């Protein structure tokens, strides 16, 4: 059974890795008509017919660019990025990172939209580690020239967009440009404040080939890993562990006794569920390490507690020497402890799975309804067995009472040999059935 679980894990991870490799280089996903009708995009097309445009993978952002080499062997890059920022307050950022596809170290252009200004402001910024930790974000110079920064808030089509011309030195490789983007809805004066800590914000980064438009989508890789993480935990901890509890409750002794088959099935469900859940938990730790600036604390803490509790439960099953025998005086205390951990897990596991599903918004509807279906199915099974348990219990109780009432009662009558009780004589006992 354990070898089967390990094979299942290997197949799931292999399929996930294959899908990641297939999706690592994706063709252009064309922009929609609203974005293509922005005046800035039309001007870019008029300048050169090599303008390319694509939908970015998150935050409903769309991106257009063209470039050419200058006489000084530099790259002049024209960019246009836009998103559906329909609120009265917010900001849009785009930038490039010479080292890695991440926010820390990015040279960014940020446009800030506030109700008190007719024209949004736009400046360049250096995104440092201190900014990620909550320090104030102020405009600053960056290590390449930026010209013609323009912000357009087109309320007719709903796009908030930024246009700029960049002159990039040789260290920025146009065949693998690390570019990132962000959207936020909170500002303090003209200072952009921290954006939401959603997975969409976390995934807003790519390695883009400006010539072909192909990209290595870092966020797409993480999305595939999250899918495997979710599938393993839903199957392992969210399905198999509850099935093991159901088997132990309803097939151990009452109402249906399947001894010793119930124990082997209970053991198999718990061990296989533990292996799959632990694999998913380990993958979740890896994802958390990869995004150390965006930690989902409650989901993480509950996951650690679930792993700890399930480890204690499975260790007791595997290590028989730790389990008291039926005759041991400590067995009842062990049972209370074992049942407490089991029922605590039945509460914690669905709560944490729903927390994880919530993080996947807006693409979490299928996950939510799938797990809803699993819980409903398990709930129907439990309800059916509870009804059966009480029916059998009441039936046996009624039968026992009926048998007791119909059985003969014996009355002892003391008589002496003459039918009278004499002083000093020992009485006889006769039994009369009534």
Residue 105 backbone zone (phi > 0: left; psi -120 to 50: alpha; other: beta): left
How many residues can be counted in the chain?
Answer: 434
CA distance 330 to 391: 32
Name residues whose C-beta falls within 8 Å of residue 98's C-beta, 6 or more positions apart in sequence: 105, 107, 171, 172, 178
**Core vs surface per residue 257-270: b (16+ CB within 10 A) or e:** eeeeebeebbbbbb
Q: Which residue numbers belong to the known binding site for heme b?
A: 229, 266, 299, 338
Name residues whose C-beta falls within 8 Å of residue 56's C-beta, 6 or more positions apart in sequence: 62, 63, 81, 181, 204, 206
Helix (H) or strand (E) holding 412: strand 410-415
Please give the full DSSP string across 10-38, using - where no structure is assigned. Answer: HHHHHHHHHHHHHHSSB---PPPHHHHTS
Which residues share a beta bridge with 414?
A: 429
Strand runs labelled E in 29-186: 52-55, 62-69, 75-83, 90-97, 107-113, 121-126, 145-154, 159-168, 177-184
Q: 143 with 73: CB under 8 angstroms?
A: no
Please give the full DSSP string across 165-181, using - where no structure is assigned. Answer: EEEE-TTS-TTSEEEEE
Q: Which residue numbers belong to the known binding site?
A: 229, 266, 299, 338
Find the DSSP H helices in 360-416.
365-406
User: In degrees to the nearest 10, what's the CA dihedral of 223, 227, 228, 234?
Assistant: 150
Q: What is the distance of C-alpha 264 from the center of its chain?
A: 31
């Amino acid at each position: 059974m354990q070898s089967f679980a390990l094979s299942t894990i290997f197949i799931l991870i292999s399929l996930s890795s294959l899908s990641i490799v297939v999706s690592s280089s994706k063709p252009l996903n064309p922009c929609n008509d609203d974005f293509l009708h922005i005046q800035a995009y039309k001007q870019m097309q008029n300048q050169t017919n090599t303008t390319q445009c694509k939908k970015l993978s998150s935050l409903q952002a769309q991106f257009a660019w063209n470039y050419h080499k200058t006489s000084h062997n530099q790259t002049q890059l024209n960019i246009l990025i836009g998103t559906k920022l329909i609120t009265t307050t917010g900001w849009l950022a785009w930038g490039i990172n010479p080292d890695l596809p991440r926010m820390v170290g990015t040279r960014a252009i940020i446009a800030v939209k506030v109700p008190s200004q007719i024209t949004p402001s736009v400046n360049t910024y250096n995104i440092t580690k201190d900014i990620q930790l909550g320090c104030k974000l102020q405009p600053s110079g960056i290590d390449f020239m930026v010209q013609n920064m323009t912000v357009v808030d087109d309320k007719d089509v709903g796009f908030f967009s930024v246009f700029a011309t960049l002159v990039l030195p040789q260290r920025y490789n146009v065949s693998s440009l690390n570019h990132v983007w962000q959207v936020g809805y909170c500002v303090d004066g003209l200072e952009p404040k921290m954006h939401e800590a959603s997975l969409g914000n976390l995934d807003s980064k790519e390695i883009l080939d400006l010539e072909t438009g192909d990209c290595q989508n870092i966020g797409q890789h993480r999305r595939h890993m999250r899918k495997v993480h979710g599938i393993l935990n839903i199957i392992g901890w969210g399905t198999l562990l509850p099935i093991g509890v159901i088997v132990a409750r309803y097939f151990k002794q009452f109402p249906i006794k399947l001894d010793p088959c119930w124990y082997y099935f209970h053991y198999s469900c718990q061990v296989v569920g533990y292996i799959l859940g632990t694999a998913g938990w380990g993958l979740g730790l890896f994802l958390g390490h990869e995004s150390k600036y965006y930690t989902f604390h409650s989901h993480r803490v509950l996951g650690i507690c679930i792993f700890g509790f399930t480890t204690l439960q499975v260790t007791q099953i595997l290590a028989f020497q730790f389990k008291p025998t039926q005759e041991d005086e400590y067995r009842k205390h062990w049972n209370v402890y074992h049942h407490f951990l089991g029922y605590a897990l039945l509460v914690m596991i669905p709560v944490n799975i729903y927390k994880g599903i919530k993080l996947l918004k807006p693409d979490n509807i299928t996950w939510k309804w799938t797990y809803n279906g699993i819980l409903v199915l398990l709930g129907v099974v439990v309800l059916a067995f509870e009804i059966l348990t009480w029916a059998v219990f009441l039936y046996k109780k009624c039968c026992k009472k009926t048998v007791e009432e119909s059985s003969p009662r014996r009355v002892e009558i003391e008589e002496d040999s003459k039918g009278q009780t004499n002083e000093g004589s020992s009485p006889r006992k006769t039994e009369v059935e009534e």
